[in-house]
Chain A
Amino acid sequence: MVTSITSFGRSGLSDWLVQRVTAVILLAYTIFITWQLVCGTDYQQWSALFDQTWVRVFSLSALLSTVAHAWVGLWSVSTDYLVEHVLRIKTNEFLASRANLLRWAFQGACGIVAFYYLVWGIQVLWS
């Protein structure tokens, strides 16, 4: 059975709000990085840019936003498609009978990948 226990905020409203707010942060960060690249940059300038604390904080907020945004989105995808009745129509009885296991495995894999990128991103930014 699909429950909300693995959702981000356990409430539809908080998940929805998290996805909107993180989307705005990601949009702002995308524009910022694109602008930097379009204006032309070499290694020295790029390094100097990321030496500034506010850029690191902005980058970290974008990284955290990516994790939260991806979790809410992929949780929705997994609870839409990796459920018993959908798998029974789209695949076969074998997979349908293992729907919960598949969904948890998918969510677990998403969680591990998100955590890996988060730790790696913090290392890159602050070391």
Chain B
Amino acid sequence: MLQVSIYRYNPATDAEPYMKDYQLDTGGKDLMVLDVLELLKEQDTSLAYRRSCREGVCGSDGLNMNGKNGLACITPLSETVVKSKLVIRPLPGLPVVRDLVVDMSLFYHQYEKVKPYLINDEPPPAIERLQSPEDRAKLDGLYECILCACCSTACPSFWWNPDRFIGPSGLLQAWRFLADSRDTAEVERLADLDDPFSVFRCHGIQNCINVCPKGLNPTRAIGHIRNSLLAAAT
């Protein structure tokens, strides 16, 4: 029997958040954590969480499971359950809307700040802007981010400064556009990042790498941004 403890909070009825315990018979199957939530929702229809694709593509069901952030839909119980106990909390550091649903506004605001789109002031060619296979390869490990917020909400620097530190996810995207051969706004992009908070609050503790469900490496991208800032300034 699996013991599941879930963070519950309904601002309309609860004075403060609390942990609610559930029992679930998994029939010995190695279910995904999202399957567990679906089964528990049959027991308790008031339980709120986000989900959509249920296959690790949409990034909706980022949660904190037994202390580690990840996507519930692609996290098997065998990977997270310790002694038949599973503790599920919302992603840390963001305001809770209800139960496991968090307000992602701060996270999206930081994403928006890095201008996550190609900027090119040259006249557009007749068909498309071409890119060599080598230049295209530079975007591997960057474009795959699904904005699930697992990394940024695992980062203490983002907890302390969510309004000023862009966070690992946003910085991975910042480097994705800095590294793109078709983008011509490198100088402006770097100038926007050269304050003591946007990039340099990263102290390299690498929680972001540890939790990324897509296996990406934001710390390396942040290192590339630092080196680019240094090269541009010297």
Contact = CB atoms under 8 A, between A and B. Distances in A.
A93 interface: no
A81 interface: yes
B161 A15 contact: no
A74 B69 CA distance: 29
A76 B171 CA distance: 19
Interface in A1-58: 2, 4, 7, 10-13, 15-17
A80 B161 contact: yes
Dominant secondary structure of chain A at its interface with chain B:
helix
A4 B165 CA distance: 13
Interface in A55-93: 76, 79-81, 83, 86
In this complex, which of B197, B198, B199, B233 has the most chain A Cβ atoms within 10 angstroms of its Cβ?
B197
B182 interface: no
A15 B197 CA distance: 11
B7 to A, nearest CB: 16
Contacts of B55: none
A11 B160 contact: no
A122 B199 CA distance: 35
A interface, how many residues as a size bin?
A: 10 to 19
Interface in A86-102: 86
B194 A13 contact: yes
B230 interface: yes
Nearest to B233: A13
B189 interface: no
Given A12-B200, A83-B160, A4 B230 contact: no
Nearest to B159: A86
B102 to A, nearest CB: 15
Dominant secondary structure of chain B at its interface with chain A:
loop
B229 A13 contact: yes
A13 B161 contact: no
In this complex, which of A11, A13, A76, A79 has the most chain B Cβ atoms within 10 angstroms of its Cβ?
A13
Nearest to A17: B230
A5 to B, nearest CB: 10
In this complex, which of B193, B195, B196, B233 has the most chain A Cβ atoms within 10 angstroms of its Cβ?
B196
Interface in B132-163: 157, 160-161
B226 interface: yes
Contacts of A16: 200, 226
Contact of A12 (B157, B160, B161, B198): B198
Given A13-B229, A13-B230, A13-B233, A80 B198 contact: no
B160 A86 contact: yes
B68 interface: no
B160 A80 contact: yes
Interface of A: 2, 4, 7, 10-13, 15-17, 76, 79-81, 83, 86
Given A10-B196, A11-B194, 14 more contacts: A2-B161, A11-B195, A11-B196, A12-B193, A12-B195, A12-B199, A12-B200, A13-B226, A13-B230, A15-B200, A16-B226, A79-B161, A80-B201, A83-B160
22 contacts: A2-B161, A4-B195, A4-B197, A7-B196, A11-B194, A11-B195, A11-B196, A12-B194, A12-B195, A12-B196, A12-B200, A13-B194, A13-B200, A13-B229, A15-B196, A17-B230, A76-B196, A79-B197, A80-B157, A80-B161, A80-B201, A86-B160
